């Protein structure tokens, strides 16, 4: 049952991403990394619907993380990319190729391989050392480097670098969610109002959302979503080890599994990034199409009137010309 609920969370996340990206790509490109971009999107119904669907997916995924092990939840949640592809196929009119499916499997398998090498403790047993949050600051620094690289580029490269920055920030938000669950289990809900965890969680999610929408605004979905789907679980795994003390199994076999998982993660991102279904997901293709009976027929063009030939009118003969003509006639006689 928990696995099914986690897949539902991935489904909601994938659908929410597709709806948001369609609205964000139609916004002016000059609003990249500006608050004006959010202002534009707040007037888009499709984007608001995508936000509602994504928030629902995040709530369901928070429940999943607190009820099943992270080594199982993170690979299952990364399948949101598969559901995004499934939604993009009928909207773009492109077929889903075997290479994209294989890429999603490799991406999820890479996350699973990186997760299986550690033993995640439950939120009630994790300690969240304050010194460990220096690791979150380091990941935020890496996200800042990706963000700066995105600002210096255009198009697909900008979307990929900004999407990676958004994924890293969302990974920090996942760790803050885990700490929030710990606070709620040990205290009451009102305790969140007096601790830094709840406010930091809200701030991280807002920053991640801002970066993600900027990535969606830069290029089609195939350039940003794979980077987000890869960076978020990677940051979550690292913070689980650094901040919450998740145990790492160190052995030759586990090292080989980790290397294989990293290679599969990168290869999966590259394969999915080449998907034509996500590359051809343009705003015009997502425009509403009305049935034929609801379309307004165009009035037939009015028939042009027949063209009547114009008979040339001879100029009037002046009296002088008349006398000259009679004089010539009498002379000829």
According to the model, what pLDDT value does residue 120 have?
A: 57
Provide the token pair at 154. Answer: 């255009």
DSSP state of 119: E
Instruction: Write out pLDDT tens, residues 104-115.
Output: 788 878 877 877
According to the model, what pLDDT value does residue 132 have?
A: 67
Q: How far are the Cα atoms of 20, 103, 207 from residue 165, in angstroms, in the given order?
A: 18, 21, 10
Looking at 1-10, 156-165, 282-291, 308-317, which range is the least confident one?
A: 282-291
Question: From CA 258, how far away is CA 260, in angstroms rounded?
Answer: 5
Q: Which residue has the higher pLDDT, 330 or 52?
A: 52
Q: Output the average pLDDT for the chain.
A: 77
- Give the residue from 145, 195, 197, 152 showing the smallest Cα distance to 168: 145
Helices (H) and strands (E) in the chain, counts: 13, 2
Instruction: Write out pLDDT tens, residues 191-238.
Output: 777 778 788 889 999 999 999 999 999 988 888 888 898 888 888 878
pLDDT band, very low/low/confident/very high, at 289 (cuts 50, 70, 90) = very low
């Amino acid at each position: 049952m928990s696995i099914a609920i986690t897949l539902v969370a991935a489904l909601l996340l994938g659908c929410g991403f597709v709806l948001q990206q369609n609205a964000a790509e139609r916004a002016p490109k000059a609003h990249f990394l500006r608050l004006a971009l959010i202002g534009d999107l707040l007037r888009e119904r499709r984007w608001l619907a995508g936000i509602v669907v994504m928030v629902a997916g995040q709530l369901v995924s928070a429940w999943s993380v607190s009820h099943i092990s992270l080594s199982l939840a993170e690979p299952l949640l990364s399948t949101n990319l598969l559901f995004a592809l499934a939604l993009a196929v009928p909207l773009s009119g492109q077929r889903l190729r075997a290479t994209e499916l294989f890429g999603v499997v490799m991406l999820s398998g890479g996350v699973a391989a990186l997760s299986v090498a550690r033993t995640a403790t439950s939120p009630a047993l994790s300690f969240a050392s304050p010194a460990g949050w220096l690791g979150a600051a380091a990941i935020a620094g890496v996200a800042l480097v990706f963000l700066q690289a995105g600002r210096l580029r255009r198009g697909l490269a900008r979307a990929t670098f900004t999407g990676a920055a958004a994924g890293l920030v969302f990974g920090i938000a996942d760790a803050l969610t885990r700490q929030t669950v710990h606070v709620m289990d040990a205290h009451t809900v009102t305790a969140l109002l007096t601790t830094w965890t709840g406010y930091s969680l809200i701030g991280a999610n807002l920053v991640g959302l801002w970066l993600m929408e900027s990535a969606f605004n830069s290029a089609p979905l195939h350039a940003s979503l794979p980077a987000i789907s890869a960076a978020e679980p990677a940051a979550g795994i690292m913070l689980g080890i650094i901040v919450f003390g998740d145990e790492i199994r160190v052995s030759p076999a586990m090292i080989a599994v980790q290397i294989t998982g990293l290679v599969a993660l990168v290869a999966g991102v590259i394969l999915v990034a080449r998907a034509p279904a996500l590359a051809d997901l343009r705003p015009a293709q997502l425009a509403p199409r009305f049935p034929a009976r609801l379309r307004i027929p165009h009035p037939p063009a009015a028939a042009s009137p027949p063209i009547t030939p114009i008979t040339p009118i001879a100029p009037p003969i002046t009296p002088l010309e008349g006398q000259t003509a009679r004089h010539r006639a009498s002379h000829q006689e």
